[in-house]
Structure 1
């Protein structure tokens, strides 16, 4: 979801700057804001009882987060932290709801965005149930590519490390590396200068 900055500011949003590694919110914090990324990269994650990280998503410029929880009286079920220096626009929950009420077109776009996320979450859950690492990786790559307009094959460049990919699909990094090599050999992806093209 990407709402025009001028519209966000007209409803009382503010710009916040974060350093690399800084937390935007923690698991258990009350959901109070709509966030939109102006520059930078953030990750949404959890840690299990053994301290193993699970990454829910990695988001970049013009993407939003925290929006689905604005409609619920719930606490964040994950952390949000900066993978790079990040500039965000932050709009308080009540102001955001007022913005949607007064701008039905934005509200419809929000529904579309949330529906798309829900759809790909369901697809990802189905893929995660597979014991085949390639199925899990293809599910993730399709999800990531869905946020971009390129319609060529393969041209979408995956801007994630092998470790981040492993954390997103619940596999060991060695398994991801082997599966990616197999996928390259089968023509599903290209790897150029260590970048995955899908």
Structure 2
């Protein structure tokens, strides 16, 4: 999203996280801007019964966790490395300085935040009123569009696990498995070697 050289000019530091490492915790005050160089990061919460809900999954060149930096609020979710990940990190003060000095980057950040708000609105409506198959398909279609999933001969490879789809849609993993099988029968999805394609 933001060029690494520019982030380094604002004292960006490269940090490495192992799979499962917590990058920041829900309820903590934000102090840094994070951008992924390589790897995968999820933002999640747990309910009282310990069930995970994934707020979002982020990949190479994406940033995460920046909205609280603008409004002096605590993080609403945890950030966890899904796989070994390399990030570039700059302090909040340097991030805000970078935005003040680079109007084009500020517009990129606004667009990115707007896209996420749009996604949250769409998914909130889906979760509250639509059947499981519709929820799963909507998440997949949105992700293909926004996350640049790779197109192969069989179609777009969906990088989410069944568990991640469940956690992103508020469904049980068993329900997701049934929905995916049903969507395959209808011709909306393909399953090849346990991988899901659209």
TM-aligned CA deviation for residue 143 of structure 1 = 2.4
Distance 1:51 1:145, change over 3 A: same
TM-score normalised by the chain length of structure 1: 0.94
Residue of structure 2 in register with 1:129 after alignment = 128
CA deviation digits over 1:74-131, x for unaligned, max 9?
0001111111111100111111111111110111111111111111110010110124
**1:162 has 2:162 as partner:** yes
CA deviation digits over 1:49-90, x for unaligned, max 9?
111111111111111101222111100011111111111001
CA deviation digits over 1:170-196, x for unaligned, max 9?
111111011001111112111222111
Give the whole-Å Cα distance in 2 for the aligned partners of 1:89 and 1:125.
31
Give the whole-Å Cα distance in 2 for the aligned partners of 1:185 and 1:71.
46
Distance 1:149 1:49, change over 3 A: closer
Structure 1 residue ranges without an equivalent (≥5):
none
Runs (4+) of structure 1 exceeding 6 A deviation are 150-154
TM-aligned CA deviation for residue 8 of structure 1 = 0.5
1:139-154 alignment, distance < 5 Å: 139-149=138-148
Tell me how many residue pairs correspond in the alignment.
Answer: 197
Give the whole-Å Cα distance in 1 for the aligned partners of 2:148 and 2:36.
18
Does the aligned pair in 1 maintain the 2:41–2:80 contact within 8 Å?
A: yes
Give the whole-Å Cα distance in 2 for the aligned partners of 1:188 and 1:83.
28
Does the aligned pair in 1 maintain the 2:149–2:157 contact within 8 Å?
A: no
TM-aligned CA deviation for residue 156 of structure 1 = 2.2
Give the whole-Å Cα distance in 1 for the aligned partners of 2:4 and 2:157.
27
1:98-113 alignment, distance < 5 Å: 98-113=97-112
Does the aligned pair in 2 maintain the 1:37–1:89 contact within 8 Å?
A: yes
Structure 2 residue ranges without an equivalent (≥5):
none
SS in 2 for 1:31: coil
Does the aligned pair in 2 maintain the 1:130–1:136 contact within 8 Å?
A: no
Residue of structure 2 in register with 1:47 after alignment = 46
1:59-138 alignment, distance < 5 Å: 59-138=58-137
**1:194 has 2:188 as partner:** no
SS in 1 for 2:188: coil
Give the whole-Å Cα distance in 1 for the aligned partners of 2:13 and 2:145.
29
Does 12-21 or 154-163 show the bigger shift? Answer: 154-163
TM-aligned CA deviation for residue 146 of structure 1 = 2.2
